[in-house]
Chains A and B, each alone.
Chain A
Amino acid sequence: MIFAVKRLAPAAVLVWAAFGLCPPLAAQPSPHAVHGPRYGGAFATAASDTLHIEALWTEQRRLRVFVVDASGGPVPIDQLRDLNALVIAGDRESPLALLESDGYFEARIPTLTLPAVITMRLRPPAAAARDEVTFSFSGYTLDVLGLASASPAEIPGTLAGIVAALADDRRVVRAMVEQSEFSGLFALEERIRDRVLAIEPYLEPMPAAVRANAPAAIALVVRGCWLLHTVLDYGSADQRDAALSQLGEALDRLMAAVPGAAQ
């Protein structure tokens, strides 16, 4: 599992896919989590690359199922109406009702306790069984609406502090590569991104050479972070490894360009 999870109470549970056939570059199934636009969750991709499904388990013991198109956009309501949707939890089958005004499906499952195995079936009328696609979900996160995002307190208030924190992040990146231990990657890339962007305001009084080189180095780290994020969403393990080492190199370059300790 390369994804980090955290319990935050009380909140809803975001259920997400860690497996799926991902568009369009992954030749083999790979870890996957596309971050949804509205619901704060992650999607499983359908095999056609045209629809994503996201499920949300709420404290009120309701399962909500969101169906969006491959780029996270809405699916017209009449197409949703065509779907015959149900959910199987334990030995119990419950219909998934379309809540038209909210644009999602919902099932109440009062008897369900976690952990549990939940199967969702969304079937267009007259669809053939051979068109079936199976997703295995292997994790969940309680992070709804960014509750667990890096707090501003994690960004030190001085340039020296930021650079020192980034040096720590650099060590984490190196250790991850060396130990093949990849938990918390999304959180790591976000933290690095926040920190490196926080350097910009400090540049103005810096020597000309720093002002000339630092912006490109900052942009390179930001790009490295997003590259990692993108391959975590859609890529393969090889791409993840390559993105991590690229991010590490970008951090090295940043350290060389910004003399943080001098502050």
Chain B
Amino acid sequence: MSRLLITVATAVTTIAVFTLHAPAVAHRTAVSPFTFHRDVVPILEARCGRCHLDDSVSGVALLRYPGARNAIWPIRQALASGHMPPWFAEGAFKAPAPVTGRELNILMTWATGGAPEGRPVPREPLVPARWALGTPDLVVPMPVAFSMAGNQRDVVHDVAMPARRIAGRLIRAVDLRPGTPAMVRRAEIIARSGGREQVLGLWQPGEAAAPLEANAAFRVPVNAAVVLRMHYRRPVGPAISDRSELGVYFARAAANPITTIELGAAAGREADHRVDRPLQVVAVRAMSGPSGAWVRLVLVAPDGARQPLARLEIRPEWNRRYVFSKPVILTAGSRIETSLVPSADTLWTSLIGERPGSADHLRVVLEVVDSSN
């Protein structure tokens, strides 16, 4: 007997049929008029494809029918809960184009309504760009490959990178090219010196490293070590190894060096940071905090005028830098108000089966340059 039927065993179904009096409107049956090849693939390619190729670390190959068909329930969860596409911020950021209401409706109708395949449409395969910002000025491979044994799942591995050609330089952007995309979940690129760690980049799969505005750049200390903090996730299957490459884009000598402002707040309370000199905010990142909670940043001008700066949802797995499309001007004497809105909405957590995080200490970092430069 087939395994399928053994697991189902016997289903005894009792049906009680009622007569109904009150006229009410029945719901429409969800039979998708949209088919995979004609309607769904173009949306998946544009909005999801770069992270959901056959060898992506997401493990969900969406651009082929069998992969998408097998994932219709996770697709429904991920889309309805807002977990996918992963963008957990509101603000004037350089952001990938979002899924529109119409597109979302097509994807959900298809996934809910039987996921019909339709007739294949010839299409060029999606080839992700090698380096989103163009060829880097310097490419540094990991000195040795990192292997994961068959019993490992998630491993954080610090790689000491040769820093000779990076230390002491001004860096406009860094990027990562995973050697084995299927196992590189995310990475932090860090300059470490004197016990201090400076984040040069937070890499996420499928994400183009956004160049910073205001001619901003990181000054890597002369004595710095460069560390690649790799978050590996082994796919199901045999042992596997990775040797990723770090891409470095140098800035012109006249670039504005970036400094950081650390913000924090306890749940339900507000915290203030006073700006003592004119600054421009180029990027913001939420480094830690209770997962699922929202951080709200509000700019308060010296005359009391308030302007929302950003709202970030804390998703430890999705740590990233949100780059402002235009630098935000902070005048001396203004304040940045930080508040933490605990996750009232437990829906995404319950839908994707995660629990809201504990009260991890909130740490939000603003990357700023001096306006006087």
Bound-state CA distance A76–B115 (Å) is: 18
When the two chains form their complex, are residues A187 and B26 in contact, meaning their CB atoms are under 8 A apart?
yes
A167 on interface, CB distance cutoff 8 Å: no
Binds A, one of B14-22, B36-44, B332-340: B14-22
When the two chains form their complex, are residues B82 and A7 in contact, meaning their CB atoms are under 8 A apart?
no
When the two chains form their complex, are residues B10 and A131 in contact, meaning their CB atoms are under 8 A apart?
yes
Residues of B within 8 A of A200 (CB): 101-102
Q: Whole-angstrom distance from the CB of B294 to the nearest CB of chain A?
A: 13
Residues of A within 8 A of B13 (CB): 17, 44, 53, 55, 118-122, 134-135, 137
Residues of B within 8 A of A47 (CB): 9, 11
- A 200-250 contacts with B by CB, 8 A: 200, 215-216, 218-219, 221-223, 226-227, 229-231, 233, 235-236, 238-239, 242-243, 246
A186 on interface, CB distance cutoff 8 Å: yes
Bound-state CA distance A122–B23 (Å) is: 34
Size of the A side of the interface (Cβ < 8 Å), in residues, is: 103
B114 on interface, CB distance cutoff 8 Å: yes
Q: How large is the interface on B (under 10, 10 to 19, 20 to 34, 35 or more residues)?
A: 35 or more
When the two chains form their complex, are residues B104 and A133 in contact, meaning their CB atoms are under 8 A apart?
no
When the two chains form their complex, are residues A144 and B29 in contact, meaning their CB atoms are under 8 A apart?
yes
- B 76-109 contacts with A by CB, 8 A: 76-77, 79-82, 98-102, 104-105, 108
Bound-state CA distance A246–B80 (Å) is: 11
Given contacts A121-B12, A197-B101, A219-B101, contact A13 B17 (CB under 8 A): yes
Residues of A within 8 A of B25 (CB): 4, 6, 148, 150, 184, 187
Q: Which residues of A contact B (CB under 8 A)?
A: 3-8, 13, 15, 17, 23-25, 35-38, 40-41, 44, 46-48, 50-51, 53, 55, 57, 69-73, 75-76, 78-79, 82-83, 114-129, 131-150, 183-184, 186-187, 190, 193, 196-197, 200, 215-216, 218-219, 221-223, 226-227, 229-231, 233, 235-236, 238-239, 242-243, 246
Which 5 A-B pairs have CB atoms at the shortest separation, nearest pair first? A37-B114, A131-B9, A186-B27, A149-B28, A143-B26
Listed A/B pairs (25) with beta-carbon separation below 8 Å: A5-B26, A23-B73, A40-B29, A51-B4, A53-B11, A71-B73, A73-B115, A117-B15, A118-B15, A123-B10, A132-B10, A133-B11, A135-B12, A136-B16, A143-B29, A144-B29, A146-B31, A187-B28, A219-B99, A221-B101, A222-B108, A223-B104, A226-B112, A230-B80, A231-B80
Q: Which residues of B contact A (CB under 8 A)?
A: 1-2, 4-20, 23-32, 69-70, 72-73, 76-77, 79-82, 98-102, 104-105, 108, 112-116, 345-347, 350-351, 353
